[in-house]
């Protein structure tokens, strides 16, 4: 029979202290609670930030005050929060405007396009259509960036994270600020 | 094979969106979009999000009654096995016979050997071709590795083929890419059960990932009646791996495999044919060994069409007094493409070879005792976008099986989406249950009937090589509405017409000298002498009362009407009284803080006249506690309302045991 080793208690103490703190936290409403919000509201807020942290080439706009068109293709839960988020917002001299699209043929004038599709075939068709049109494509399908989309939202431990396909951003002549990139995961893969 | 066609097509859409979210405490109010807009990027990256509408959103266009159990549902249910998880699905009846045997069915026909629901793990069928039905004790997938369980009520034969009659249950495991790192769980509790999982997942170069795991569990025996302990305790271990590869931007490969071994006790009463007229009641130990290996390769062409190839081998050996083995080799190709802008097509072809054997000892024999059967199938389905809010899907499977030759399983679905998040759908389909080896080859000495002067008779059931497939014509109408961001519901009604249902048809008694002393044989044979017309409906609803409290409920109604044709008097495998007419579920999920979650579920199951088994309500509650990112504790109390109750009594030879009140603690460590 080995002599009881006192060492385990050394790690046990902080664990217990932490446990007690957590328990106390659960008893006091509001204490120890993390910040939480609806997933699509957070995504909408990210979308707004994209306008601030992405540079379009000058030929993407006709004038310095031309609005930045944010489009959502298809029925997605992002539409309503995004419309709310953009209402009345201006970045630089450009107002942010929201468009709900039902067909990818309408996407030519969009500067930011959210594609809610998970269907690979349609996703590819849509991405192909807008490839050379200076459109910042944003999606959440698992293979979105692999298919040539530029920004993908994904969930990591209940938090919304970003993934960037920089090759696809280069193709669209878009420059993503390093501040935004530093928060995301970077993949360099052009679809196909 | 069955499985992956439709899964890839219809439910593919679910994949991207059905990641588990969490119900979290309020922090940002409802009208806080401006707060979020003004938050810094770092703040945004640290906000816990609630994912309320994903399931409803992606389900909203399916032309079938689909219910998805997410990983979050699994964790928050506190359940420890797959059968118990299915209790949360409206329309599914789960009845525990003993601690390692379940009777589970969808929309009636429940039985220990219920045979009208197809069950798949990552597209691999675990439905027994020997016995028709599913041995639930073989499903030892670690619950932590399940991404979701998709349950389709109603026929799915067009894509899944034979036996996808009353429903399909597809258990989909996580990609190894999504389980990176280490995971260890350990649990212990009162009646059941002791268990643990050790798992590690890592990367192979920059293109591949892998996961390996091993787990062990031990469940104690429960009681045959008050104070009389049964022998149904069991334990088992399993190990497996999964590796996922992005070979190129357009090629992916997944390879996975498992091995499992369980030792299970049971109490049975069996006729001993070699010592007639002896009937014995005894405890017996059964060992079950299973293994599988599967590869799936997917290529996307430059025009966007996709080709998927899947192959698997699996083998199961169940050894008690008898030795039963089944080995399958299955391969299939499936092609998904579009024609024009409105037609989305799926075509496929598959082949399966099944080698099986059953060597009996006491009361059940197969004559001959082994067989090798082939199944060929082809399939085509087209989804046409008729207008911007009306879609028509139709197609059929054509199969050739070793028992009944050619079979076809067409279906049609019409989905109308008048508004965002609202849909009305109608479907009509034909499905079959293909006879199994049991139906053709079996010989069962079901009971010894004593006569005066020590004479006796033996009730025998024998197989019928001429047995036809059971067929079903099913019509469904459904409505889904996601009323707002917090509330949604789904109603389905169905009318199912069955014909050629398997019956046990009495024949003329005769004397025999072989085997045993001279005795009278009271024979019956399987026949197809019953029809049934069932109707009913299911309702499921979910309501996010507040940002931190969700209520989910379900209700189902079933009316069965089985009509045997003389001389047959009843179905061979299920009676109307073995399935409850009503079932209801209510689940409450509360996020007490962002570290503590509290879940309570009540499951009501109506009375069974077979048995009889009185109606019962199962009440479970659970508290889960996140210590930090890597450590998670939970304590669950299950079956709290009654100290003990039966759920199902007809186990054929197997004696039922009581479900007992229990408490279980579990610790999960990620590293």
Chain A closest CA to B411's CA: distance in Å? 22
pLDDT at B306: 86
CA angle B496, B499, B503 (to 5 degrees): 120
- Mean pLDDT rounded to a whole number for chain B: 88
- The reply to whether A158 touches chain B by the CB within 8 Å rule is yes
- Comparing CB atoms, the residue among B14, B46, B388 nearest residue A35 is B46
Kindly report the backbone phi and psi dihedral angles of residue B90, in degrees, each rounded to the nearest multiple of 5, phi listed first: -60, 140
Count of CB atoms situated within 10 Å of the CB of B169: 28
Helix (H) or strand (E) run with residue B430 in it: strand B422-433
**Contact list, B209 vs chain A (CB under 8 Å):** none
Min Cα–Cα distance to chain B from A153, Å: 11
**Residue A149: pLDDT above 80?**
yes
Q: What is the pLDDT of residue B207?
A: 86
- The DSSP code for A105 is G
State the nearest Cα–Cα gap between A82 and chain B, in angstroms.
9
Least CB–CB distance from A42: residue in B26, B44, B336: B44
| 3-class SS of residue B140 | coil
**How far is the alpha carbon of B490 from chain A, nearest alpha carbon, in Å?**
18
B46 with A77: Cβ contact below 8 A: no
CB contact under 8 A, B627 and A19: yes
Q: Looking up tokens 């959103």, which residue turns up?
A: B57
pLDDT at B501: 95
Confidence band, pLDDT 50/70/90 cuts, at residue A157:
low
pLDDT higher than 70, residue B1: no
Q: What is the 3-state secondary structure (H, E, C) of B85-117?
A: HHHHCCCEEEEEEECCEEEEEECCCCCCCCCCE
Segment B456-476 shows an average pLDDT of 94
- State whether residue B149 sits within 8 Å of chain A by CB: no
Cα B53 to Cα A77: distance, rounded to the nearest angstrom: 8
CB distance A86 to A48 below 8 Å: yes
Smallest CA–CA distance, residue B185 to chain A, in Å, is 18
**Shortest alpha-carbon distance between residue A176 and chain B (Å):** 14
Q: Assess whether pLDDT exceeds 80 at residue B7.
A: no
Nearest alpha-carbon partner for A148 in A162, A122, A119, A169: A169
The residue among A42, A79, A128 with the most chain B CBs within 10 A of its CB, best to mutate, is: A42
User: What confidence score (pLDDT) does residue B511 get?
Assistant: 92
- How confident is the model over B485-512, as a mean pLDDT? 92
Over residues A85-103, the mean pLDDT reads 87
Which domains are assigned to chain B?
4-178+289-646 (2.40.170.20)
Residue B214 has pLDDT above 50, yes or no: yes
Closest CA to B347 of B300, B385, B395: B395
Concatenating the DSSP letter of every residue in B518-556 gives: SEEEEEEEEEEEEEEEEEEEEEEEEEEEETTEEEEEEEE
Chain A, window 4-43: residues with a beta carbon less than 8 angstroms from a chain B beta carbon: 15, 18-19, 22, 25-26, 31-42
Q: Find chain B residues with C-beta within 8 A of A75's C-beta.
A: 57, 420-421
Determine the distance in angstroms separating the CA of A57 from the nearest CA of chain B, rounded to an integer. Answer: 23
Would you call B58 and A191 a contact, using CB atoms and an 8 Å cutoff? no
| Per-residue pLDDT at B654 | 92
Least confident range of A28-32, B98-102, B344-348: A28-32
What distance in Å separates the CA atoms of residue A90 and residue B141, rounded to the nearest whole number? Answer: 52
A-facing residues of B in 202-241 (CB < 8 A) are: none
Report the residue of chain B nearest A85, measured CA to CA.
B33
Nearest CA in chain B to A159: B48
Pick the more confident residue, B303 or A167. Answer: A167
Q: Do A140 and B47 touch (CB under 8 A)?
A: no
Residues of B in contact with A81 (CB under 8 A): 33
Q: Dmax of chain B from CA atoms?
A: 94
pLDDT interval class at A12 (50, 70, 90): low
In a domain, A83, yes or no: yes
- ipTM for this model: 0.72
- In the predicted model, is pLDDT for residue A88 greater than 90? no
Q: String of b and e for B502-536 (b: at least 16 CB within 10 Å)?
A: bbbbbeeeeeeeeebeebbbbbbbbbbbbebebbb
Closest chain A C-alpha to B545 CA, distance in angstroms: 14
Give the CATH number for residue A82: 3.40.50
Asked whether the beta carbons of residue B28 and residue A44 sit closer than 8 angstroms, the reply is: no
Q: Which residue on chain B is closest to A34 by alpha carbon?
A: B594
Q: Looking at the domain assignment, is residue A17 inside a domain? A: no
A124 touches chain B (CB under 8 A): yes
On whether the CB atoms of residues B236 and B254 are closer than 8 A, the answer is: no
Tell me how far apart the alpha carbons of residues B211 and B122 are, in angstroms, rounded to a whole number.
15
Domain-located, residue A25: no
Q: Is B304 on the interface with A (CB under 8 A)?
A: yes
Residue B518 forms contact with A (CB below 8 Å): no
At residue A118, the pLDDT reads: 62
Interface of A with B in 70-89 (CB under 8 A): 75-77, 81, 84-85, 89
Return d(Cα B544, Cα B558) in angstroms, integer: 28
Helix (H, G, I), strand (E, B) or coil at A181: helix
CA dist B326 and B414 (Å) reads: 39
Over residues B552-569, the mean pLDDT reads 92
- Number of H helices and E strands in chain B, helices first, is 9, 39
The better pLDDT of the pair A105, B497 is held by B497
pTM: 0.78
Query: Phi and psi dihedrals of B184, rounded to 5?
Result: -135, 130
Among the partner-chain residues A33, A119, A160, the one whose CB lies closest to the CB of B594 is: A33
Residue A22: which of B25, B304, B627 has the nearest Cβ?
A: B627
Check residue A19 and give its pLDDT: 54
Domain assignment present for A88:
yes
* pLDDT, greater one: A75 or B215: B215
Residue B370 sits at the chain A interface (C-beta within 8 Å): no
What is the tally of structural domains in chain A? 1
Range of the domain at A181: 39-187
Mean pLDDT of A12-38: 47
Least confident range of A59-73, A112-126, B244-258, B544-558: A112-126
Of B45, B53, B302, the CB nearest to A159: B45
Confidence class of residue A117 from pLDDT cuts 50, 70 and 90? low
- CB contact under 8 Å between A41 and B32, yes or no, is yes
From chain A, the residues in CB contact with B627 under 8 A are: 15, 18-19, 22
Please, which pLDDT band fits residue B359 given cuts at 50, 70 and 90?
very high
> Residue B54: pLDDT band by 50, 70, 90 thresholds?
very low
Q: What local confidence, expressed as pLDDT, does residue A123 receive?
A: 83
Question: Distance of CA A182 to CAs A164, A188, A190, B178, B533, Å?
Answer: 10, 15, 20, 22, 62
**A60 contact B CB<8A:** no
Q: Are the beta carbons of B27 and A33 separated by less than 8 Å?
A: yes
Q: Inform me whether the C-beta atom of residue B246 falls under 8 Å from chain A C-beta atoms.
A: yes
DSSP state of B571: B
Q: What are phi and psi of A37, to 5 degrees?
A: -160, 165
Look at residue B193 and tell me whether its pLDDT is greater than 70. Answer: yes
**Average pLDDT of B530-544?**
94
Is the pLDDT score of A84 beyond 70?
A: yes
Q: Which of A14-28, B272-286, B415-429, B479-493 has the lowest mean pLDDT?
A: A14-28
Q: Residues of B with CB below 8 A from A124's CB?
A: 300, 304
Work out the average pLDDT over B179-196. Answer: 87
Check B33 against A41: CB less than 8 A apart. yes
Q: Give yes or no for a contact between B610 and B577, defined as CB atoms under 8 angstroms apart.
A: yes
Q: In this structure, is residue A160 part of a structural domain?
A: yes
Residue of B nearest to A139 (CA): B16
Q: pLDDT tens for residues B606-627?
A: 999 998 999 999 999 999 998 8
Q: Does B598 touch chain A (CB under 8 A)?
A: no
- Of the listed ranges A52-61, A115-124, B197-206, B317-326, the one predicted with least confidence: A115-124
Contacts of A29 (CB under 8 A, 6+ apart): none
Residue of B nearest to A53 (CA): B41
Three-state SS at A125: helix
Please compute the mean of the pLDDT values over residues B214-223 and round it to a whole number: 93
Largest distance between two CA atoms of chain A: 83
Q: Which chain A residues touch B24 with a CB distance below 8 Å?
A: 34, 36, 158
pLDDT band at B569, cuts 50/70/90? confident
**In Å, how far are A88, B490, B619, B660 from B600, measured between CA atoms?**
44, 22, 7, 18
Residue among B37, B595, B629 whose CB faces A157 most closely: B629
């Amino acid at each position: 029979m080995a002599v009881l080793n006192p060492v385990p208690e050394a790690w046990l103490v902080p664990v217990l202290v932490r446990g007690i703190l957590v328990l106390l936290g659960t008893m006091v409403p509001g204490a120890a609670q993390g910040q939480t919000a609806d997933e699509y509201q957070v995504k909408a807020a990210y979308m707004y930030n994209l306008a601030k942290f992405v540079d379009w080439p000058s030929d993407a706009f006709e004038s310095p005050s031309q609005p930045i068109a944010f489009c959502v293709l298809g029925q997605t839960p992002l539409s309503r929060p995004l419309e709310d988020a953009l209402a009345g917002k201006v970045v630089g001299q450009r107002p942010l405007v929201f468009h709900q699209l039902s067909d990818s043929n309408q996407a030519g004038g969009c500067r930011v396009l959210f594609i809610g599709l998970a269907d690979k075939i349609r996703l590819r068709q849509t991405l192909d259509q807008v490839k050379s049109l200076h459109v910042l494509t944003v999606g959440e399908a698992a293979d979105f960036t692999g298919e040539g989309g530029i920004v993908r939202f994904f969930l990591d431990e209940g938090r919304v994270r970003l993934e960037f396909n920089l090759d696809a951003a280069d193709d669209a002549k878009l420059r993503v600020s390093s501040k935004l990139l530093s928060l995301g995961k970077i993949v360099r893969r052009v679809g196909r | 094979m069955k499985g992956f066609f439709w899964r890839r097509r219809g439910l593919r859409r679910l994949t991207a969106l059905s990641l588990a979210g969490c119900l979290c405490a309020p922090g940002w109010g409802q009208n806080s979009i401006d707060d979020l807009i003004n938050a810094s990027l770092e703040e945004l990256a640290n906000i816990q999000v609630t994912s309320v509408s994903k399931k409803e959103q992606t389900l909203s266009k399916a032309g079938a009654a689909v219910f998805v159990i997410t990983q979050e549902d699994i964790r928050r249910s506190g359940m420890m096995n797959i059968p118990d998880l299915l209790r949360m699905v409206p329309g599914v009846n789960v009845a525990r016979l003993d601690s390692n045997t379940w009777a589970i069915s969808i929309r009636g026909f429940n039985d220990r050997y219920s045979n009208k629901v197809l069950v798949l793990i990552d597209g691999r069928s675990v439905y027994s071709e020997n016995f028709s039905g599913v041995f639930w004790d073989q499903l030892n997938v670690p619950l932590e590795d399940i991404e979701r369980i998709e349950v389709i009520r109603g026929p799915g034969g067009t894509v899944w083929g034979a036996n996808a009659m009353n429903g399909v249950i597809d258990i989909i495991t996580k990609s190894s890419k999504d389980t990176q790192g280490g995971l260890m769980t350990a649990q212990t509790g009162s009646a059941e059960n002791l268990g643990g999982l050790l798992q590690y997942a890592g990367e192979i170069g920059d293109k591949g990932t892998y996961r390996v795991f091993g787990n062990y569990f031990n469940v104690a025996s429960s009681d045959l009646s008050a104070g009389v302990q049964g022998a149904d305790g069991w334990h088992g271990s399993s190990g497996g791996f999964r590796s996922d590869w992005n070979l190129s931007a357009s090629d992916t490969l997944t390879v996975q495999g498992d091995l499992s071994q369980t030792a299970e006790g049971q109490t049975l009463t069996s006729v001993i044919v070699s010592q007639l007229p002896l009937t014995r009641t005894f405890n017996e130990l059964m060992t079950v060994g299973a293994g599988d290996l599967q590869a799936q390769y997917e290529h996307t062409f430059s025009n966007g069409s996709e080709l998927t190839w899947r192959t698997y081998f699996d083998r199961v050996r169940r050894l008690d007094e008898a030795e039963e083995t089944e080995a399958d080799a299955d391969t299939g190709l499936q092609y998904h493409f579009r024609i024009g802008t409105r037609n989305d097509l799926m075509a496929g072809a598959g082949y399966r070879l099944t080698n099986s054997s059953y060597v009996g000892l006491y009361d059940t024999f197969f004559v001959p005792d082994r067989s090798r059967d082939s199944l060929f199938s082809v399939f085509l389905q087209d989804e046409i976008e008729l207008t911007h809010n009306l879609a028509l899907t139709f197609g059929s499977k054509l199969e050739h099986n070793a028992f009944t030759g050619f079979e076809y399983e067409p279906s049609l679905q019409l989905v109308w989406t008048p508004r965002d998040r609202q849909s009305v759908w109608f479907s009509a389909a034909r499905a079959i249950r293909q006879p199994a080896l049991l139906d053709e080859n079996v010989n069962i000495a079901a009971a010894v009937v004593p006569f005066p002067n020590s004479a006796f008779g033996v009730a025998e059931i024998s197989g019928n090589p001429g047995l036809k497939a059971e067929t079903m014509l099913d019509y469904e109408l459904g409505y889904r509405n996601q009323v707002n961001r917090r509330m949604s519901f789904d109603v389905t009604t169905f009318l199912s017409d069955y014909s050629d249902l398997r019956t046990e048809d009495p024949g003329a008694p005769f004397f025999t000298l072989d085997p045993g002393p001279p005795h009278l044989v009271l024979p019956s044979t399987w026949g197809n002498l019953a029809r049934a017309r069932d109707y009913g409906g299911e309702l499921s609803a979910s309501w996010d009362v507040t940002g931190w409290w969700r209520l989910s409920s379900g209700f189902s109604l079933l009316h069965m009407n089985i009509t045997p044709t003389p001389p047959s008097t009843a179905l061979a495998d299920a009676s109307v009284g073995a399935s409850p007419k009503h079932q209801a579920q209510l689940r409450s999920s509360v996020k007490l803080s962002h570290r503590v979650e509290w879940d309570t579920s009540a499951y009501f199951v109506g009375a069974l006249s077979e048995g009889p088994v009185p109606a019962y309500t199962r009440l479970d509650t659970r508290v889960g506690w996140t210590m930090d990112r890597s450590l998670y504790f939970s304590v669950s109390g299950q079956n709290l309302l009654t100290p003990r109750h039966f759920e199902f009594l007809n186990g054929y030879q197997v004696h039922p045991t009581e479900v007992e009140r229990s408490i279980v603690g579990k610790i999960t460590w990620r590293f």
